[in-house]
């Protein structure tokens, strides 16, 4: 049975006003000593190089983290399904951004979320609309969870969702590749980070 279906997987071309979104590259996910963590060194490194280009062009950059209160009511059934998330408390250190990304606090918003999508229950859509963004470059982790959910919502909110494949990762290689396939087939555009970098340099 072929994995190619007629009427699926057409190209979404880059728009004119991009922003870069870094999803959950926090210590809890990039430090292997955490139950949530995995080795994402290469993905963080590729993302940092992309951020350097975006910063040189003065393009909008946004970050997300996941933070829960000690009662965990704000996590609802998500916490029941993934109890490993309980470590993501405000003062735990696990919710802090990976320092290798060198976030500029006065210029690059940090959005706190509770669930997979970076849009659900957050100010992300409002910020992007205010900046007249039409293209969202989505990096971070994990491909099968927060990346996929964010891409789907980006599409539903009217943004061109672009995923540089070297800039996203997952603790499961199988889940990583299957979700990149689904994103490319139905929801966004999965491209090489070099192509994204070259595009940003034209803005």
Mapped to the 3 state alphabet, what secondary structure does the chain carry? Answer: CCCCCCCCCCCCCCCCCEEEEEECCEHHHHCCCCCCCCCCHHHHHHHHHHHHHHHHCCCCEEEEEECECCCCHHHHHHHHHCHHHHHCECCCCCCCECHHHCCCCCCCCEEEECCCCCCCCCCHHHHHHHCCCCEEEEEEECHHHHHHHHHHHHHHCCCEEEEEHHHEECCCHHHHHHHHHHHHHHHCEEECHHHHHHHHCCC
One of 34, 141, 146, 167 is an active-site residue; which one? 146
Cα separation, 48 vs 99, in Å, equals 10
Is 87 considered catalytic here?
no
Contact 182, 156 (CB under 8 A): no
CB atoms closer than 10 angstroms to residue 202 = 8
* Cα dihedral value 52, 54, 58, 60, nearest 10: -120
Residues noted as catalytic: 146
């Amino acid at each position: 049975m072929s994995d190619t279906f007629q009427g699926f997987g057409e190209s979404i071309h880059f728009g004119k006003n991009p922003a870069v979104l870094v999803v959950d590259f926090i210590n809890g996910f990039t430090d292997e000593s955490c139950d949530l963590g995995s080795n994402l060194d290469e993905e963080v490194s590729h993302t940092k190089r992309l951020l350097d280009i975006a910063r040189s062009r003065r393009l909008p950059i946004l970050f997300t983290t996941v933070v829960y209160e000690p009662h965990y009511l704000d996590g609802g059934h998500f916490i029941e399904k993934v109890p490993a998330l309980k470590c993501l408390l405000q003062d735990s250190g696990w919710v802090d951004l990976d320092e290798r990304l060198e976030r500029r606090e006065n210029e690059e918003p940090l959005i706190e979320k509770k669930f997979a999508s970076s849009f659900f229950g957050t100010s992300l859509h409002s910020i992007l609309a205010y900046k007249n963004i039409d293209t969202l470059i989505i990096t971070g982790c994990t491909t099968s969870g927060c990346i996929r959910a964010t891409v789907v919502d980006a599409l539903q909110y009217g943004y061109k969702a672009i995923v540089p494949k070297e800039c996203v990762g997952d603790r499961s290689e199988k889940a990583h590749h299957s979700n990149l396939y689904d994103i490319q087939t139905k929801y966004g555009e999965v491209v090489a980070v070099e192509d994204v970098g070259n595009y940003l340099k034209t803005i």
